Chains A and B, each alone.
Chain A
């Protein structure tokens, strides 16, 4: 613990934040292009190659929009809501490991010898990672309520109420669908979960160890139902179609952000896309082996790069980058499913949405928990 280490940690935190904020325009671009191709249109294709610069132009336009604060609104709440919308996504994203740890040998800088360091590619490592992420991401309901209550607009208020009722209802299914995977892993820590998912599918069957060599040891093979329930719940948590009742434009204009415009509305979008990224990263970490390729450990990648003539630091850096790219590939696959579903399915009615959350997902998640617990005892032969 010295000045250099603290400096690196702070830079790392800022980089994680910027990574998340920078992914938002790319995702918006993917969403617009993707929806255009799904609907047999062109999408943004004029500004720059493939329309990529369009988002930069949009961002500049947002910054130069006239500020509008409706009369009769609570000004403080109205301005605070978009700021609060940013926080939960970023805090949750920083708790998820984004790549293998990066080891540095001692090195000289500013006339001192620093190191050796063992840097994790995650903002902070809580032993209780899942509980922290669930706790932080549920704070998003506050920003919606602030926006709705502060706007002095009936549509905003009803949008906010719907959004918060929906978020807390699906939080139950979300929390309960994870109990099954916790039963199997026996840990709250993301890093330990990723380590457990190494190697081929291995489990105890009637007290004997059984190995299926051609399948990776991923959570999805143990908890298919849990994975589906979790994915449906995070759709509702991030207020995306088919669960975007809070901003159902046919009934509520735009829901809780009716009165917002320009950068402030964009901050709500960063929050929403942040939620999607956290959800995708969690899916990859819980059920799809995190930053590891199947059957390939970070040590094997490191050895490969050392064999190619990289020094210790270089090989470690390359390993971290490769594992980060692997995680990002998985994350983008899930983000694409988010976008794909949005442009495929129509919106639910509100009573259908509540019925799905309370009467379908919750009982199924309970059944999943009990059955998993039962099967674990049965298989281990105790």
Chain B
């Protein structure tokens, strides 16, 4: 069985199991009259104020963008790392090291610029 088929099978099985649990929970529990007050959002007993889904600090958005940039840079390192030993055993060790070292220098420069420009300061 190819791994892809197996993965899809397992994912479908787990999803089915999960929906079964949700369904079982919905039929087994006691049915009571859920009043409007009971259905209110639980915010420490106070009446919920303002919109349900309030505005989100833009900080999280910035973090997500920075994450995507850095994650792509890390993904570039993976094939390099796996091919590294082959290059070293063929005597091209310093070539493969220095070629990625330039990239890592840019990576480090980006990280320090990001820290310097206070993009990572949280209150």
Using a CB–CB cutoff of 8 Å, the interface residues on chain A facing chain B are: 1, 5-6, 9-10, 13-14, 17, 62-72, 79, 82-84, 86-87, 90-91, 94, 123-126, 131, 149, 151-155, 157, 161, 164-165, 168-169, 171-172, 175-176, 179, 182-184, 186-188, 253, 258-259, 262-264, 267, 350-351, 354-355, 358-359, 362-363, 366, 369-370, 373-374, 376-377, 380, 382
A87 touches B11 (CB 8 A): yes
B22 touches A83 (CB 8 A): yes
A157 touches B53 (CB 8 A): yes
Give the tally of cross-chain contacts (CB within 8 A): 213
**Cβ distance B73 to chain A, nearest Cβ, rounded Å:** 9
Listed from nearest, the 6 A-B pairs whose CB atoms lie closest are A83-B18, A382-B93, A71-B39, A351-B122, A377-B93, A124-B3
B1-54 interface (Cβ within 8 A of A): 1, 3, 6-7, 9-11, 13-15, 17-19, 21-22, 24-26, 28-32, 34, 36, 39-44, 48, 52-54
Known contacts A152-B41, A186-B85, A351-B121: does B111 contact A362 (CB below 8 Å)?
Answer: yes
Q: Which residues of A contact B14 (CB under 8 A)?
A: 17, 86-87, 90-91
Secondary structure at the B interface, as helix, strand, loop or mixed, is helix
Q: Which residues of A contact B107 (CB under 8 A)?
A: 366
B25 touches A65 (CB 8 A): yes
Rounded to whole angstroms, the CA-CA distance of A355 and B86 in the bound complex is: 37
Known contacts A82-B18, A149-B53: does B44 contact A253 (CB below 8 Å)?
Answer: yes
B113 within 8 A of partner (CB): no
Q: Which residues of B contact A90 (CB under 8 A)?
A: 10, 14
Q: Which residues of A contact B13 (CB under 8 A)?
A: 13-14, 17
B91 touches A382 (CB 8 A): yes
Known contacts A169-B63, A382-B92: does B52 contact A263 (CB below 8 Å)?
Answer: no
Considering only CB atoms, which chain B residue lies closest to A254 in the complex?
B42
Secondary structure at the A interface, as helix, strand, loop or mixed, is helix
Q: Which residues of A contact B28 (CB under 8 A)?
A: 63-64
A91 touches B84 (CB 8 A): no
Rounded to whole angstroms, the CA-CA distance of A124 and B13 in the bound complex is: 15
**Can you list 14 A-B contacts with CB-CB less than 8 angstroms, sorted by A residue number?**
A65-B25, A71-B36, A72-B52, A94-B6, A152-B53, A171-B67, A172-B70, A175-B74, A175-B78, A263-B25, A267-B21, A351-B123, A373-B84, A382-B89
A188 touches B82 (CB 8 A): yes
A172 touches B53 (CB 8 A): no
**Cβ distance B75 to chain A, nearest Cβ, rounded Å:** 8
Besides A83-B19, A373-B101, 10 new A-B residue pairs in contact (Cβ under 8 A), listed by A number: A5-B1, A13-B6, A68-B34, A87-B14, A124-B7, A176-B77, A182-B81, A186-B84, A377-B97, A382-B93
Considering only CB atoms, which chain A residue lies closest to B92 in the complex?
A382
A369 touches B77 (CB 8 A): yes
Q: B56 contacts which of A17, A161, A169, A350 (Cβ < 8 Å)? A: A161
A151 touches B10 (CB 8 A): no
A358 touches B91 (CB 8 A): no
**Cβ distance B34 to chain A, nearest Cβ, rounded Å:** 7
Rounded to whole angstroms, the CA-CA distance of A244 and B108 in the bound complex is: 29
**Cβ distance B15 to chain A, nearest Cβ, rounded Å:** 6
A153 touches B43 (CB 8 A): yes
B42 touches A263 (CB 8 A): no
Known contacts A355-B120, A374-B97: does B63 contact A165 (CB below 8 Å)?
Answer: yes
**Cβ distance B66 to chain A, nearest Cβ, rounded Å:** 8
Considering only CB atoms, which chain A residue lies closest to B108 in the complex?
A366
